[in-house]
Amino acid sequence: MDELSELFKVLGDKNRLRIINLLKQRSLCVCEITEILKLAPSTVSRHLSILKHVGIIKDKKDKKWVVYSLNVCYDNVLITVLMPLVLSQLKDDEQAESDLRKLAGIDLNFVCKSKDASEIDSIKNEVTPKVSI
């Protein structure tokens, strides 16, 4: 019951749902999410650690950046069933779509100051794993 209510609590925050929605598109560093959500970097970092703690997302270090992404498979049955449901609900959502548009138009040279041209290029060409609903 604790596990159940904890997971629902984690999902019961709009900014965390916005992050999940963004990570559905592609993996992101903290700078990028901060830029779109217009929150303090420390706040975004906190949300990310909460999402990571319950196993919804994972991170990996890449040069200066910590790159976050959705987990593709979960060791938890509940999340495994819940996530496709959450992702499907984020379709056709106004806020979710607006965030994705903002993500598409983001200026990586400005948002992540130290990213060089080749890095930016590989991000733009990143293949998004399509999650089937």
Q: Which is nearer to a second copy, 17 or 123 (CB)?
A: 17
State the burial class of residue 48 (Cβ atoms within 10 Å of its Cβ: 0-12, 13-18, 19+). buried
Q: Is 60 in the site for DNA (CB under 7 A)?
A: no
Q: Which stretch binds DNA (CB under 7 A): 86-94, 97-105, 108-116, 121-129?
A: 108-116
Q: Which of residues 83-102 bind DNA (CB under 7 A)?
A: none
| Contact predicate 16/10, CB 8 Å | yes
Q: Are 42 and 23 in contact (CB under 8 A)?
A: no
Residue numbers at the binding site for DNA (CB under 7 A)? 9, 13, 15, 29-31, 34, 38-43, 45-50, 59, 61, 63-67, 112-115
